[in-house]
A and B are shown apart, each in its own frame.
Chain A
Amino acid sequence: MRLRKGASLFITLFLSIGAVISFFPIYLAIINSVKTQGEMFTSFIALPTKLHFENYSQAFDKINLLHSTLNSVIVSVIGIGGIIFCAALAGYKLSRTSGRLSAAIFSLFIASMLVPFHSIMIPLTRMAKSLHVSGSTYGLALIYIGLGVNMAIFLYHGFVKSIPRELEEAARIDGCGEFQTFFRIIFPLLLPITVTIAILDFLWIWNDFLLPLLMLTDANKYTLILSTNTLFGEYNKEWSLILAALVLTALPVIVIYGFFQKFIMQGIAEGAIKG
């Protein structure tokens, strides 16, 4: 659409101010993370005169970076993998089966999407304790599967309708069993929605704070977010150290975002429209 010059200028100005605000805290965190405490307090805005990477090596140790990143990776991979495996099977079958039982199970999954996490966190911690899954990264991943599977089933359920039934019938005639048909024929065709689900769940699990806080007690099991949180509590005034830790925590996701932004944005848009 063609706009008058004034309007176009206003839009550019508005977007530019927005862009500055959007990037400002990240910029501040980065430049101040390589300053000494003293240099920082003469000016927070000025670029550093000399790069002090010792903040990073200190933060690296304090948040146990390698270890806690590994924990985050374990939780995310198992959580996302489990959600996809369980939800694809269930979503596919529920979509293909008519009848009251199938409809009832599906409704049960969907209805629970409205339950806020905070309403179940108390009994959930009890349940995790009694099943001996609290305090472990694998247990945490298991809980994410339980919490995330309903939304994924919903998305798979909708997507399966776009796949022609003839494909399954053909596979059946060729002698495939039900599970074989699913894994060989159907699952590969579900790839687009699987990518969407993986992205949405990655953003959720990787960045989640409250569930790990409730479940994990041993610092060795902490996820990246949780380690950074403890650091913030302990070294309250040592900003150069804290900022280095924040940058270390935020950077991996931003890098991943740089590589996959097309998929990420598409995933969010699709998840919202189908959800």
Chain B
Amino acid sequence: MPVKSYKHIVSLLAFVAPAFIIYLLFLLIPTIGGMYYSFTDWNGLNRNYSFIGLGNFIEALREDPDFVHSLMFTLKYVLFMIVLQNVFALVLAVFIETKTRTKGFFRTLFFMPNMISTIISAFMWTFVFSQVLPQIAEKTAMSFLDQLWIGDPKVSFYSIIIVSLWNGVGYMMIIYLAALQGVPQSLKEAAVIDGASPFQTFRKVTLPMITHAVTICFFLTLNGAFKVFEVVYGLTGGGPGRSTQVITMNIYEEAFSNNFRYGYASAKSVILFVIILIFTFIQIGVMKRKEVEA
């Protein structure tokens, strides 16, 4: 090897080494390790365990109704979040954008919940759902507020959505606002002069100019929603029963609180990883094509 390229490699490695070593230990090896364990029946303690091929995966998808339920529950959650979070965030951003004088005030206020840790938000809302809303219902005529917000699985799904939106919409709103600021004012004015209504201007001019932000926000929502844990943990704890258990909680329980079946739990987390990958690639693929068209 020529001396110069040898030196180059040494200097490259010297710069990369600190990051790489720590990344290797806490991310790369665990990733590979998790995939490896997913094919074993390891319980996390025993030195002896055996390789059982796809056994864990088959068991999870075929013989584990709790896991399948958590999978379906999470998918439903993801779907709701992708639509609602982005619609709300975009509407808020567009509305705020029109308000030149109070822009800063609304932006600050809508983003504030995002600063609060998700688990703390969930606890705050537990108070609202379990105490405040029933009391308001009792004292006023708004009887629809008197629900088992957390106790009835049908309703608590929506409670989980409400808290997730409360906590997360502000973040996406900021991204949309930044994108909206990049749309040249002159284009919008030109559309208005040509007789376009505000809604038409938005659809035909603004929206195509911010599709990259839509792609990013969909990606972030999709990824975040599949990994939902804290909101559910803080609000319902997965209950009543296991009715609101999401995938991440199911994995957590399997590995750390119920059975200590590390191999089996690892297989479930590999399934989660693969699902996220598939959905992400589909989403990015579809939306990139839209961006080109625009």
Which A positions have Cβ atoms within 8 angstroms of B?
Answer: 1-3, 7-8, 11-12, 14-15, 18-19, 21-26, 28-29, 32, 41, 43-45, 82, 85-87, 89-90, 92-94, 97, 99, 101-102, 105, 108-109, 112, 114-124, 126-128, 131, 142-143, 145-147, 149-150, 153, 178, 182, 203, 206-210, 214, 225, 228-229, 232, 239, 242-243, 246, 249-250, 253-254, 256-257, 261, 265, 268-269, 272-273, 275
Contacts and interface: CB of A to CB of B under 8 A. Distances in A.
Contact of A127 (B29, B120, B216, B262): B29
B143 interface: no
B27 to A, nearest CB: 5
Contact of A28 (B30, B111, B117, B132): B132
B16 A1 contact: no
B27 A146 contact: yes
Interface string B133-149: 00110010000000000
A225 B256 CA distance: 20
Interface in B3-18: 8-9, 11-12, 14-16, 18
Contacts of B29: 123, 127
Contacts of A87: 19
Given A126-B44, A178-B11, A243-B127, A146 B230 contact: no
How many interface residues does chain B have, given as a range?
A: 35 or more
A180 B192 CA distance: 56
B19 A23 contact: no
A127 to B, nearest CB: 6
Contact of A1 (B22, B192, B213): B192
Interface in B237-263: 247-248, 251-252, 255-256, 262
Given A90-B19, A92-B15, A119-B270, 16 more contacts: A1-B198, A12-B99, A23-B109, A26-B124, A93-B11, A115-B31, A118-B227, A119-B273, A120-B269, A121-B251, A122-B37, A146-B26, A250-B117, A254-B116, A269-B178, A273-B175
